[in-house]
Homo-oligomer: A and B are copies of this chain.
């Protein structure tokens, strides 16, 4: 039969998708970005706005997001010193991804509740 064909290459799509996933991977990064873009600036506010997140995880993820220039950590030198987290302009480029995920998640939940 000699029906052995190679696989179909999909690297044109897989590679950039993987690059994106590497930046926003995990349960927490997008929720944190959403919270900061919503206007939460203080560590405790961000923490309270995301149910289930612990300070350890939040601190680590904030550092990651800072490195990728999605948010910035601002130290305000009043007395007492205040620390604020603000979205960088680059964070806005994630909006299409967030919107797509939000739309899908909303629909998925409807689908699940109508089935079972």
Task: List chain A positions with a Cβ less than 8 A from chain B.
Answer: 6-11, 13-21, 23, 25, 27, 30-31, 34-35, 38-40, 42, 44-46, 48-51, 93-94, 96-109
Contact yes or no, A20 B104, CB < 8 A:
yes
Contact yes or no, B49 A35, CB < 8 A:
no
Contact yes or no, B101 A20, CB < 8 A:
yes
A-B contact pairs, 19 of them (CB 8 A): A6-B48, A7-B45, A7-B49, A8-B35, A8-B45, A10-B31, A14-B35, A16-B103, A16-B106, A17-B34, A18-B31, A20-B102, A20-B105, A20-B108, A23-B108, A25-B27, A94-B104, A96-B104, A99-B100
Within 8 Å CB of A31, what residues of B? 10, 14, 17-18
Count identical subunits in the complex. Answer: 2
A36 closest partner in B (C-beta)? B10
Given A13-B98, A97-B100, A98-B13, A105 and B7 contact (CB-CB distance below 8 Å): no
Given A18-B27, A31-B14, A45-B8, A93 and B107 contact (CB-CB distance below 8 Å): yes
Within 8 Å CB of A48, what residues of B? 6-7
Contact yes or no, A17 B96, CB < 8 A:
no
